[in-house]
Amino acid sequence: MDNFVELDRITHSYIEDMLAILLGTLMVSFGIIMLKQAGALTGSTAGIAFLISYLSPLSFGSIFFLVNLPFYWLAVYRIGWEFTLKTFCSVGLVSLFTHAHSLFIHFSTLNPIYATLFGNVIMGMGFILLFRHKASLGGINILALWLQDHMGLRAGKLQMVVDTCVVLASLFVVSVPMLIVSVVGAVLLNLIVTMYHRPGRYII
């Protein structure tokens, strides 16, 4: 018994949190760039930002940052300041990195199906990094994590339902084949979150 580590006493250091947020937002923003250039969509507040960016001259990054602002109230009063500050930084970094990636990366040849599916995989792993360090990308993420902590509802399952609805609402923006691929990508992303972010599995 002496060889067992008491997991409930293990905490992440501030440096570990900062690196995780940096790497997680880099992964998510790179996935967003792949989806954007493929003409695909995703769910949650990112999906709403995609829709507005397709229909307006505003950039995805600026829209994504603004769309998330109303959800910080829930984050502060229901989850806490630490989570809210980490989430605010994460949203800001994704907004910044999506702009920065576009300055250095442009795919001359990109299979839209591959880009959509692989982009969602990258985003899913980025979400896991953020969630495990008590951060999120705002919006539905905040609501989903709060419901998971207080009601036992898996974050991935709620996000899957919401994300699929957001993507389906985008029928007037993209073609039916890309809509189908976008839905599959959203389901894939949330399956990753459901599988690897379970209550009680990761005690930090």
The confidence score (pLDDT) of residue 7 equals: 47
**Three-class DSSP category at 42:** coil
What pTM did the predictor assign?
Answer: 0.79
pLDDT greater at residue 107 or residue 32: 32
On whether the CB atoms of residues 71 and 143 are closer than 8 A, the answer is yes
d(CA 134, CA 88): 12
Q: Given the structure tokens 């250091």, which residue do they identify?
A: 13
Burial of 8 (0-12, 13-18, 19+ CB in 10 A): exposed
**Rounded to a whole number, what is the distance in angstroms from the first to the last CA of the chain?**
21
- Report the 10 Å Cβ neighbour count for 125: 18
- 22-26, 27-31, 82-86, 147-151: least confident range: 147-151
On whether the CB atoms of residues 35 and 113 are closer than 8 A, the answer is no
Residue 99 has pLDDT above 90, yes or no: no
Burial of 185 (0-12, 13-18, 19+ CB in 10 A): buried
Query: What does the pLDDT look like over 46-76, one tens digit per residue?
Result: 888 888 888 888 888 888 888 888 778 777 8
- What is the token pair recorded at 65? 């940052």
**Three-class DSSP category at 89:** helix
